[in-house]
Structure 1
Amino acid sequence: MQSTNFIEFLKGLDPKPLYVLDKAMPLSSYVPIDLSDSNESLNEIDVASAEKLGAFVNNHIANHNAKVAYGGYLEVRNIYKRSTHFNKQAKEERNIHIAIDLWCEAKTPIYAPLNAKVHSFKNNTNYGDYGPTIILEHNVEHITFYTLYGHLSLESIDTLKVGQIFEQGEQIGSLGDAAVNGNYPPHLHFQIIRDLQGNLGDYPGVCAKQNLEFYKQNCPDPSYILHL
């Protein structure tokens, strides 16, 4: 399936929003947040500090009487400069986020947005990495694609099994804290992936500018199904 057709397929999955957080929490309680390198209000924040970045995010949520802050798809971020994990093999800096982040409290339950089976999972322990990660495989109308859930709790993968079935709306895990999630404020990295390219329990969530066109096609905007 060509990338444009895949995007149209995603848009047509359901006229209603699909949920990875509690469905009872309305989208009106979500607020967008800008964590890009062009956000001048971040200049005075040490974004390498989970505590200080967390305070920035939490204040943003509170100031908007919200429960969740969301955003980040194709956002160019300075936060990745703190870790060699994003630049050790690349000829060009990897700093473009190719997923959506949902910032909320640790232990927040995470749910399958569609019927799925567990493709793979892994604790990605590099500094600044995902920490505990689950990749679900979906097959809808004979089309197979994947969703990745990063920055989970250790409990999320303790008893998980490859091939395990989850029905739409069933809890798959919960959010981890900075001690296990790569040293970030609690949040879900939610990514759609067309072709996993042989990866297991991991897939790049940040890319370099030189590879952006490929990843835009292989990892479309999750807003197409979340309706954010």
Structure 2
Amino acid sequence: MENFLKSISKQPINVIDESILIDNYVPISISSENTDLQSFDISSSKEWEEYITSYLKKNNGKVAYGGYLEKRDIYNRSKHFSKESEENQRNIHLGIDLWCNAGTSVLALLDGEIHSFKNNTNFGDYGPTIILKHTINNKVFYSLYGHLSINSIKDITIGQKVRKGEVIGFLGDSSVNGDYAPHLHFQLIIDLGGNFGDYPGVCAKKDVEFYKNNCPNPLTLLKINTMDL
């Protein structure tokens, strides 16, 4: 699948505001090993937003990106991810996050159609979410856009055609996006497994191999330098 993704485009593909150049993206880690996260309350969306704003200013960036297969402690705050046993604790991130301002436009990865959409309202969940279906060279796969604004899922319909680079929504703020600092959760999915407007964006360690195969690294298409992470 990775070779197929690499063949789709030789140029970087934007999934947020096309006026923000890839050169303005800076890598960020919010993994369990990032000691910077011990300096503030990770359960507070306000303090998260202050941290992201400060990080971007310090690193002269407009978007902070990263997170594929990253183990994170932030999910411990929500029962939506916590399980009775450590083995079943969902804390490994399956997409990438693009941290930037609320209201930033979100763009369709490629030509396709709206497969489904939903407001996932669990604490710490995606909030408003859109899933697109893409068919290229007879191969079908999906792209998921989470943490959008409420208006992003109004006045859209299942099966609606979209074009590569078309604005499909806007980033929501903490009041609607699962109580996070504004960001886009972007994920590629080969088999949705019957899911509608939702798909796991975080998994337990024991399930990593399955999800790694079903959710390839989005940076392959965005062509951001993964060596920086």
Calculate the TM-score normalised by the size of structure 2: 0.95
Cα distance in 1, alignment partners of residues 112 and 84 from structure 2:
33
Pair 1:15 & 2:21 matched: no
Counterpart code for 2:218 = P
Q: Which of these residues, 186, 198, 207, is aligned with residue 190 of structure 1?
A: 186
Secondary structure in 2 matching 1:192: strand
Cα distance in 1, alignment partners of residues 36 and 117 from structure 2:
36
Which stretch has the larger CA shift, 90-99 or 156-165?
90-99
Counterpart code for 1:173 = G
Cα distance in 1, alignment partners of residues 72 and 177 from structure 2:
18
Aligned to 2:200: 204
Secondary structure in 1 matching 2:98: strand
Q: Which of these residues, 60, 67, 71, is aligned with residue 55 of structure 2?
A: 60
Aligned to 1:71: 66
Cα distance in 1, alignment partners of residues 216 and 126 from structure 2:
19
Secondary structure in 1 matching 2:97: strand
Cα distance in 2, alignment partners of residues 197 and 113 from structure 1:
21
1:212-227 correspondence to structure 2 within 5 Å:
212-227=208-223
Moved over 2 A (4+): 87-91
What displacement does 1:22 show? 2.1
What displacement does 1:88 show? 4.2
What displacement does 1:211 show? 0.0
What displacement does 1:179 show? 0.2
Which stretch has the larger CA shift, 40-49 or 180-189?
40-49
Aligned to 1:161: 157
1:1-228 correspondence to structure 2 within 5 Å:
6-88=1-83, 92-228=88-224
What displacement does 1:89 show? 7.5
Cα distance in 2, alignment partners of residues 99 and 131 from structure 1:
16
Aligned residues: 223
Aligned to 1:3: none
RMSD value over aligned CA atoms? 1.0
Counterpart code for 1:44 = S
Secondary structure in 1 matching 2:88: coil
What displacement does 1:23 show? 2.2
Cα distance in 2, alignment partners of residues 65 and 177 from structure 1:
22
Cα distance in 2, alignment partners of residues 155 and 33 from structure 1:
28
Counterpart code for 1:140 = I
Contact 2:83 2:90 in 1 (8 A): no
Structure 1: 5+ residue runs without aligned partners? 1-5
Secondary structure in 2 matching 1:19: coil
